[in-house]
Amino acid sequence: MNTKKIYPLFLNNIETQKEESLNDIKEYRVIISFDSVPERDNFLSKNKQLEIINKFDFIPAFCVGLQKDQILNFDNDDSIKQIEEDQRLYLSILEVNEILELDKYKKSQISYTGKNVQVGIVDNGINTNFQAISNVSRYQINKVDKDPSKISHGTLMASIIANQFKNIEDDYIGIAPDVKFTDFDVSNLTNDFYFSQILEVFDSIIKEDLEIDVLLISLTTSDPSDGKDILSLACNLLVDRGIIIVSPTGNYGPDSRTIGSPSAASKVISFGAVTKELFINPFSGKGPTLDERLKPDFCLPGSDVKIPLSDNLAVSVTGTSVAAAIGAGLIAIIKEFKTNYSYNALFEILKNSCKDLTLDKFSQGYGMPDIVEIFKKMNLFHERILPYNFLAKKAIKVSVEFAVLYIIIYLLFLLF
């Protein structure tokens, strides 16, 4: 079938769909995009019978339910730029033991912790009732009542990035504990997630001029992508505006070409997941993309990561979104040091710091970023100098211990 405007991957889906009967005609959630808002509005004025689900301005488009014959009919409309499915998205976390070790970095004199960096999380909401989380501004797309005890996927993502609990050495557990969050909550009563919901988030960011430095989109499609779908293209445009976008590769491995959207987008920094033994997790989405590009970009731990949420509650999580959240935290640290780093500059910094795990390039990407190596290359990494007060207290303790030992030896000499 020769078509002009239907996205090829979507065309393949509707051509292979078999309708069992006339009463079982499938309706597709479709996004129709245009070159400009006036062209979109003109099209809608001529097709007032359409029941529009949503409209978007950042990329001029609208979402609507259409049957196959309607889709094929609109394919002949010259004003339309592209017709594609409003693809469903899935959370990229698997089951809910081991914390990512950044001890060497935290013991150095580097003080970057994500201060003044705004991290947006597009997910099913952040539950701020847990002690592990702070500094959250909520931006709820759909008004849904929340269970105050629920451990949502977004809660786990925020806890990985900026966990407020401390370890026995009094260091924060979170990667970048001082970041501020914008919670782009796209949850709904049916727990369904679509392209159109994220496009709505993008519209809000642009229209309201929201300050976002790093945007974690922890959802991905189950179908692979060539990076030319509307969500991927919208992500690239948002990156051009200065926002760094991070996404997991999804949990649809181990086969190749299992990178979905938006991680297949050329300017989205995508992360696959490795085990604590530094092997690629079998579930981690693998490249290349459908148009043969290298993805994932990088890999990070995404297996059995322990997260304390309160004094009495800790969970362990596994999935590529864990790796992506860690990646977002590392990027936030770099952005605090250099707020005006472009996507290209930041990508090169990550790439040049990577530890090559000597695994398949379409599984590991360029390898695993090393935060210590990043700051060493900037000549900013130095071992922490112990403070005078600590050394003085240590000296007193050693002196007392030596004096006690001397007295014991002296008494033993007198007695025997």
Q: Does pLDDT of 240 surpass 80? A: yes
In the chain, the percentage of residues whose pLDDT exceeds 70 is: 83
Same structural domain for residues 343 and 400? no
Name the strands in the sheet holding 244-248, side by side, starting at the edge strand that comes first in the sequence. 136-140, 180-185, 118-123, 214-217, 244-248, 269-274, 298-301
Q: Are residues 64 and 189 in the same domain?
A: no
- How do residues 345-379 score in pLDDT, each as one tens digit? 999 999 999 999 999 999 999 999 988 888 887 76
Q: Say if residue 78 is in the same domain as residue 98.
A: no
Q: What is the pLDDT of residues 152-200, one digit of tens each?
A: 999 999 999 999 988 777 778 889 999 999 999 998 888 899 999 999 9
Q: Are 308 and 388 in contact (CB under 8 A)?
A: no
User: Residue 154's closest CA among 175, 174, 181?
Assistant: 181
Interatomic CA distance for residues 283 and 258, integer angstroms: 10
Containing domain of residue 409, as a range? Answer: 387-416
Are 367 and 396 part of one and the same domain?
Answer: no
Q: Domain boundary residue among 69, 86, 103?
A: 86
The answer to whether residue 88 scores a pLDDT higher than 60 is yes
217 and 169 within one domain: yes
- Pull the structure tokens for residue 77: 């409309």
- Examine the domain organization and report whether 21 and 71 are in the same domain: yes
Enclosing H/E stretch for 383: none
Who has greater pLDDT, 413 or 208?
A: 208
Q: Please tell me the predicted confidence (pLDDT) of residue 103.
A: 55
- Reply yes or no on whether the pLDDT at 97 is more than 80: no
* Domain stops at, among 86, 107, 138: 86
Last residue of some domain: 57, 86, 115? Answer: 86
Q: Where are the alpha helices (DSSP H) in 137-256?
A: 153-162, 195-207, 230-240
DSSP 385: P
For residue 382, is it within any domain?
no
The answer to whether residue 31 sits within a structural domain is yes
What's the pLDDT score for residue 14?
A: 87
Percent of the chain with pLDDT over 90: 65
Instruction: Enumerate residues 6+ apart whose C-beta is below 8 A from 104.
Output: 372
Number of domains, the chain: 3
Same domain as 404, residue 342: no
User: Is 104 found in the same domain as 116?
Assistant: yes
Half-sphere exposure of 198 (CA within 13 A, CB side): 31
Query: Do residues 162 and 175 touch, judged by C-beta distance below 8 A?
Result: yes
Per-residue tokens: 125: 């909401």
CA–CA distances in Å: residue 205 to residues 138, 155, 174, 201: 13, 21, 26, 6
**pLDDT of 277 strictly over 60:** yes
315/305 Cα distance (integer angstroms): 8
Q: Does residue 1 fall inside a structural domain?
A: no
Average pLDDT of the chain is 86
Looking at the structure, do residues 82 and 196 belong to the same domain, yes or no?
A: no
Residue 2 maps to a domain:
no
- Residues 96-133: b if buried by 16+ CB within 10 A, e if exposed: beebbebeebbebebebbbeebbbbbbbbbbbbebbbb
Q: Is pLDDT larger for residue 363 or for residue 24?
A: 363
Residue 209 lies in a domain: yes
More confident: 65 or 403 = 65
Q: What's the rounded mean pLDDT across residues 223-228?
A: 96
Task: Give yes or no: residues 111 and 33 share one domain.
Answer: no
Range 259-273 average pLDDT: 98
| Residue 28: CATH number of its domain | 3.30.70.80
Are residues 185 and 334 both part of a single domain? yes
Number of helices (H) and strands (E) in the chain: give both, helices first.
Answer: 12, 16
Q: Inform me whether the pLDDT recorded for 70 exceeds 90.
A: yes
Q: What is the longest distance spanned by two Cα atoms in the chain? A: 110
Do 206 and 316 fall into the same domain?
A: yes
Is the per-residue pLDDT at 314 higher than 70?
yes
CATH classification of the domain holding 116: 3.40.50.200
